[in-house]
Amino acid sequence: MNLAKVDEIKSAISALSHDEVLYLWDWFSEKEWAEWDAQLEADSLSGKLDFLIKEAFSEKSQNKLKGL
């Protein structure tokens, strides 16, 4: 990790207006969700989440599922 670069970015963020910070916050949020979605899709396609499907079917067969 380049702490000098991080400190430079933090300093630049401190100089932003409130609206600019909100815009940056939205950008970070969208970026994070996109990365989350991509990882979830990759895990799903690779079978890493298959245990959840098996668990759900098992719970359903035992009438243990609760309605929303």
Can you state the percent helix, strand and coil of the chain, rounding each to 5?
80, 0, 20
Model confidence, pTM: 0.65
CB 57 within 8 A of CB 51: no
**What integer pLDDT is reported at residue 44 of this predicted model?**
96
**Residues in Cβ contact with 40 at an 8 Å cutoff, skipping those fewer than 6 apart:** 49
Q: Please report, in tens digits, the pLDDT of each residue of the chain (68 residues total).
A: 899 999 999 999 999 999 999 999 999 999 999 999 999 999 999 999 999 999 999 999 999 888 77
Whether the CA torsion 23, 24, 28, 34 is positive or negative: it is positive
